[in-house]
């Protein structure tokens, strides 16, 4: 078949357009022009698309497309000029033209507003008609567009849009006037916005439509985004007036003198502008107008607002005005990522409040300080013995109070931070820094905090749920975070912990363990190592006790009176120094135990050394307790039995009285020689046995509060107690309390010694690794290694370096810059 067709010449299809000249350009154009006019007059629904399209097609085939293009443009231009323009110009009332001059004409606002709305409506309708009409024209002239459109000829639609721009918007309002429709449009919209800013409700959709018109028109035929009339004409004017407005607004609000109101209104303005841009103007304007608002309204005023006397941030903080704070925060954040104005004030306020807490905690102990001072000197004022305990207790209370106060302050600011400062990271850091700042102003912070834990672990957590305990401990840990000298805290904590452990004062071992793990998380492994080993010692000791008991039960001869022994074997390096070291320092001989006890002691030593040969056990009687069963013979002959729980020393003392006939006593010196208990401990123990009102197992002669070497002690058969079991504490020995000045000095000295060791260890560690290092590098490294534990004094480090050089661990390698080398 294909071959058959191939015979025929293919003829051009008969068109009858260019050949038959019956229809020439003009006649076709006449038809076309009338159709286009129909479209302009919105009469198109009867027109057949095909017909218009075909006419245009024919003209294009006649190679007259450029002519057609020009004709169409001309037609549309004429239409706009004659019909549309007059309509619009007529709608501009003279009030609009006049108003152009005076920007602030509140008096005639309603008249102007009405006229404006009328004008905008007419313009909007004209624009929409034009758009619709041109859309239709474009559709039917598609063929022409395809052939003609090029760089020199934009699509007909674009060309017609430009016509609207030139012949409507840029037309003068009155003949010969420089004022154009565009100018009136601009001033009218700006006037409407001004009305809205001062609280009136305006016809938003209408303005939105006019803005859309400006967004749909371009300066150039290429229609770049940046050449939108909206951007080239309207937006700059809008920003200009907005700038002026907000300059004035800032002044006005500031003059009202109320920070909260300022912030509330400013926040409201921001929301208004956002909304305005979103629903009325263009989303692209939003950042620009907000930037301007930030600059004019906020940045230039925020500092003043924050610091406003009586209504500023200070007052808001004091009165927990979260709403106000939130606004300040939001505003400040808009203009300053660091929120300096706000941060600065918050920080100052925290430190102020913290100082107050510090001061109140110092105030209490300071008043009775002189008496405490005297007390420690000797027993000159025995009558004040009772009072003596109080201030110290009070001090402890105030220490705990200090912690509680800080915690509540922290809670307050945490709350503010979370609710008003949007959990801002930067704010959190700076609030933390402020807390650290004032907490470290209190030199006893570590001790106070440790006491706080001690108190809570002994009593505070009784009857609390697990989660409550958790919160409590967490709070304490937060404070720990702020404390610079963590090693000092460790010292105190160990001291307090050892008492809790040995005297079984801890309410819950679980809570203790929890505490350790929390600390571990917060401060690190190294920190808790020793504390943990204290716990380990305790568990091992428990096993040891059981094993020993079993051993005795197995091997022991049944006749022997069984004495229950509960023993704690403590690793000397891990436990607080003063417990271990106090006796070594004085090289005192150990106290003489009564026979029964001594046997027991020897039997345990045998048992223990059997298991762990080469170890040395040193007995710490001062830390122990003993249970005694004492029989008191009443004058009426009746015997009253009590079980007494006393310290080991007290037990030793009381056992002496077994060998003393009734009615006879022992003098202080006798007791001292027979027991070899140190004065210090002996006095305290005797005080608790003979002086403390409820636990007078001994009678003292003469009856006074102070114990003198000449005093005599008798067994007190009149001892009476409502309970069978009586616990006799050692005076001022049992509870953990705030140290007095002397103790403190001792602690500090020990602390310094320990620090020296730590620093040296760090230096040697660093140097061993690096071999040679300049002075400054060594300093920095040392500081950074130690910072987790404490903040060492630079001079201290220098002295340590010197000392290490003296001891030939290090050597000076060079002077310029000063450099050290490691001596292996």
User: Which residues sit at the interface with other proteins, rule CB under 8 A?
Assistant: 1-15, 17-18, 44-51, 53-54, 57, 60-61, 63, 132, 136, 139-140, 142-143, 146-147, 224
- State the nearest-atom distance from the C-beta of 18 to other proteins, in Å: 6
Cβ nearer to other proteins, comparing 146 with 513: 146
What token pair was written down for 52?
A: 């218009």
| Closer CB to other proteins, 136 or 577, in the complex | 136
Residue number with CB closer to other proteins (66 or 368) = 66
Torsion of CA 744, 749, 753, 755, to 10 degrees: 50
Q: Which is nearer to other proteins, 63 or 703 (CB)?
A: 63
**10 Å Cβ neighbour count for 267?**
17
Q: Which positions ≥6 away from 224 have C-beta within 8 Å?
A: 218
Smallest separation (angstroms) from other proteins to the CB of 144: 11
**Alpha-carbon distances of 138 from 31, 32, 47, 56, 421, rounded to whole Å:** 17, 13, 15, 11, 56
Closer by beta carbon to other proteins, 224 or else 584:
224
- For other proteins, the closer of residues 10 and 178 by Cβ is 10
Provide, rounded to whole angstroms, the least separation between the CB of residue 54 and other proteins.
6
Please give the C-alpha separations between residue 564 and each of 185, 552, 647, 657, in angstroms, as whole numbers. 104, 10, 15, 21
Shortest spacing between CB 70 and other proteins, in angstroms: 17
With residue 509 as reference, give the H or E element that holds it: helix 509-523
| Nearest distance, CB of residue 158 and other proteins, angstroms | 17
Residue 8 or 462: the one with the smaller Cβ distance to other proteins is 8
Cα 148–chain centre separation = 67
d(CA 490, CA 560): 44
What residues have CB less than 8 Å from 761, skipping those under 6 apart?
none
Least CB distance to other proteins at residue 127 (A): 18
Find the shortest distance in angstroms from Cβ 25 to other proteins. Answer: 13
Instruction: Give the residue with the Cβ less far from other proteins, 143 or 790.
Output: 143
At 691, list the tokens.
Answer: 């002086």
Q: How far is the CB of 747 from other proteins (least distance, A)?
A: 59
d(CA 311, CA 302): 13
When the beta carbons of 16 and 287 are compared against other proteins, the nearer one is: 16
Considering the complex, what minimum distance in angstroms separates the CB of residue 24 from other proteins? 14
Least distance CB 160 / other proteins (angstroms): 16
Beta bridge partners of 712: 667, 701
What count of Cα atoms within 13 Å lies in the side-chain half-sphere of residue 405?
A: 20
Please count the residues of the chain.
824
Stated as kind and residue range, the H or E segment containing 772 is: strand 772-774
Query: What minimum distance in Å lies between the beta carbon of 45 and other proteins?
Result: 7
Q: Which is nearer to other proteins, 28 or 341 (CB)?
A: 28
**Smaller CB distance to other proteins: residue 19 or 638?**
19
Whose Cβ is closer to other proteins: residue 63's or residue 724's? 63
CA dihedral of 543, 549, 555, 560, whole degrees rounded to 10? 160
Nearest CA to 738 out of 403, 437, 433 is that of 403
Give the chain's largest Cα–Cα span: 157
Question: What is the token pair recorded at 303?
Answer: 């500092």
CA distances from 479 to 347, 410, 430, 437 (A): 17, 9, 15, 12
Joined tokens for residue 508: 């819950």
Q: Which is nearer to other proteins, 47 or 509 (CB)?
A: 47
Q: Helix (H, G, I), strand (E, B), or coil: what is residue 769?
A: helix
Q: Whole-number minimum distance, CB 234 to other proteins, in Å? A: 23
Whole-angstrom Cα distance, residue 91 to residue 587? 113
Q: How far is the CB of 44 from other proteins (least distance, A)?
A: 6
Residue 739's alpha-carbon distances to 320, 393, 396, 403, 744, in angstroms, are 37, 11, 9, 16, 6
Q: Which is nearer to other proteins, 43 or 366 (CB)?
A: 43
Who's near 472: CB < 8 A, 6+ residues apart?
A: 456, 460, 461, 464
Nearest-approach distance from CB 46 to other proteins, in angstroms: 6
What is the β-pairing status of strands 725-727 and 772-774? unpaired
d(CA 672, CA 656) in angstroms, rounded, equals 11
SS3 594: coil
CB closer to other proteins, 226 vs 795:
226
Q: Which is nearer to other proteins, 147 or 259 (CB)?
A: 147
Q: Rounded CA gap, 416 and 429, in Å?
A: 14
**Distance of closest approach, residue 464 Cβ to other proteins, in angstroms:** 51
Alpha-carbon separation of residue 347 from 22, 409, 429, 431, 605 (angstroms): 94, 13, 11, 6, 60
Task: Tell me the C-alpha to C-alpha distance, in Å, between residue 361 and each of 373, 412, 442.
Answer: 18, 19, 9
Q: What angle do CA 545, 548, 550 make, to 5 degrees?
A: 110
Question: Between residues 151 and 629, which has the closer beta carbon with respect to other proteins?
Answer: 151
Minimum CB separation from other proteins for residue 215, in Å?
19
* Nearer to other proteins among residue 135 and residue 590 (C-beta): 135
Could you tell me the smallest distance in angstroms from the CB atom of residue 50 to other proteins? 5
Burial 671-698 (b: 16+ CB within 10 A, else e): bbebbebbeebbbbbbbbbbbbeebbbb
Question: Shortest Cβ distance from residue 302 to other proteins (Å)?
Answer: 33
Any alpha helices (H) in 556-667, and if so which ranges? 577-586, 595-611, 648-656
Q: Write down the residue that tokens 């009155």 correspond to.
A: 174
């Amino acid at each position: 078949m294909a071959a058959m067709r191939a015979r025929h010449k293919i003829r051009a299809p008969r068109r009858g357009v260019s050949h038959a000249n019956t229809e020439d350009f003009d006649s076709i154009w006449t038809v076309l022009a009338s159709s286009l006019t129909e479209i302009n007059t919105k009469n198109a629904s009867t027109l057949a698309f095909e017909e218009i399209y075909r006419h245009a097609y024919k003209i294009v085939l006649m190679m007259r497309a450029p002519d057609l293009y020009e004709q169409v443009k001309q037609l549309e231009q004429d239409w706009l000029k004659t019909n549309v323009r007059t309509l619009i110009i007529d709608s501009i009332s003279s009030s609009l033209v006049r108003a152009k001059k005076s920007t602030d004409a509140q008096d005639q606002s309603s008249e102007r507003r009405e006229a404006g709305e009328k004008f905008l409506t007419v313009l909007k309708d004209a624009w929409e008609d034009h758009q619709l009409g041109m859309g239709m024209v474009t559709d039917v002239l598609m063929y022409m567009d395809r052939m003609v459109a090029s760089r020199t000829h934009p699509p007909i639609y674009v060309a017609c849009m430009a016509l609207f721009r030139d012949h409507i918007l840029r037309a003068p309002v009155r003949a010969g006037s420089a004022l154009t429709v565009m100018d009136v449009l601009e001033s009218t919209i700006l006037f409407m916005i001004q009305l809205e800013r001062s609280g009136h409700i305006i016809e938003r959709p209408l303005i939105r439509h006019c803005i859309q018109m400006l967004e749909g028109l371009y300066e150039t035929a290429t229609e770049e985004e940046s050449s939108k009339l909206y951007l080239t004409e309207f937006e700059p004017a809008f920003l200009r007036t907005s700038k002026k407005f907000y300059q004035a607004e800032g002044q006005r609000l500031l003059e009202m003198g109320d920070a909260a109101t300022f912030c509330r209104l400013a926040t409201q303005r921001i929301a208004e502008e956002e909304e305005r841009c979103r629903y009325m103007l263009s989303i692209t304007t939003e950042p620009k107008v907000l930037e301007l608002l930030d600059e004019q309204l906020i940045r230039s005023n925020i500092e003043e607002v924050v610091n406003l006397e009586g209504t500023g941030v200070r007052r808001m903080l004091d009165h927990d005005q979260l709403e106000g704070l939130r606004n300040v925060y939001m505003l400040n954040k808009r203009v300053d990522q660091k929120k300096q104005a706000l941060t600065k004030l918050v920080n100052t306020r925290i430190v102020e409040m913290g100082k107050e807490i510090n001061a109140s905690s110092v105030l209490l102990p300071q008043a009775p300080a002189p008496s405490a001072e005297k007390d420690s000197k000797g027993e000159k004022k025995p009558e004040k013995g009772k009072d003596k305990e109080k201030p110290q207790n009070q001090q402890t209370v105030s220490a705990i109070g200090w912690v509680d106060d800080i915690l509540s302050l922290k809670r307050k600011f945490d709350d503010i931070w979370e609710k008003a400062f949007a959990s801002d990271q930067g704010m959190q850091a700076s609030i933390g820094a402020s807390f650290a700042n004032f907490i470290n102003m209190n030199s006893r912070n570590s001790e106070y905090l440790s006491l706080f834990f001690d108190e809570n672990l002994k009593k505070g957590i009784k009857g609390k749920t697990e989660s409550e305990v958790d919160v409590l401990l967490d709070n304490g840990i937060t404070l720990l975070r702020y404390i610079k000298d963590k090693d000092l805290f460790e010292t105190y904590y160990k001291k307090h912990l050892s008492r809790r452990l040995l005297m079984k004062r801890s309410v819950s071992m679980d809570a203790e363990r929890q505490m350790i793990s929390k600390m571990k998380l917060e401060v690190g492994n190294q920190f808790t190592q020793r504390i943990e080993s204290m716990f380990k010692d305790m568990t091992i000791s428990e096993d040891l006790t059981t094993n020993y008991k079993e051993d005795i039960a197995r091997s022991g001869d049944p006749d022997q009176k069984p004495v229950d022994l509960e023993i704690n074997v403590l690793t000397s390096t891990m436990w607080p120094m003063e417990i271990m070291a106090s006796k070594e320092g004085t090289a005192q001989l150990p106290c003489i135990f009564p026979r029964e006890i001594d046997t027991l002691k020897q039997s345990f030593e045998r048992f223990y050394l059997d298991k762990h040969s080469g170890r040395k056990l040193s007995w710490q009687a001062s830390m122990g307790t003993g249970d005694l069963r004492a029989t008191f013979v009443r004058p009426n002959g009746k015997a009253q039995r009590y079980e007494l729980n006393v310290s080991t020393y007290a037990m030793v003392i009381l056992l002496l009285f077994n060998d003393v006939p009734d009615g006879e006593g022992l003098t202080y010196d006798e007791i001292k020689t027979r027991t070899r208990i140190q004065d210090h401990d002996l006095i305290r123990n005797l005080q608790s046995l003979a002086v403390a009102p409820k636990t007078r197992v001994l009678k003292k002669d003469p009856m006074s509060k102070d114990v003198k070497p000449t005093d005599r002690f008798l067994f007190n058969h009149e001892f009476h107690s409502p309970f069978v079991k009586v616990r006799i504490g050692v005076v001022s020995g049992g509870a953990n309390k705030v140290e007095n000045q002397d103790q403190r000095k001792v602690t500090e000295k020990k602390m310094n010694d320990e620090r020296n060791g730590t620093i040296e260890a760090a230096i040697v560690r660093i140097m061993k690794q690096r071999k040679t290092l300049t002075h400054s590098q060594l300093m920095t490294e040392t500081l950074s290694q130690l910072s987790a534990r404490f903040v060492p004094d630079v001079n201290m480090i220098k002295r340590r370096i010197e000392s290490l050089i003296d001891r030939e661990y290090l050597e000076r390698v060079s002077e310029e810059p000063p450099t050290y080398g490691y001596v292996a």
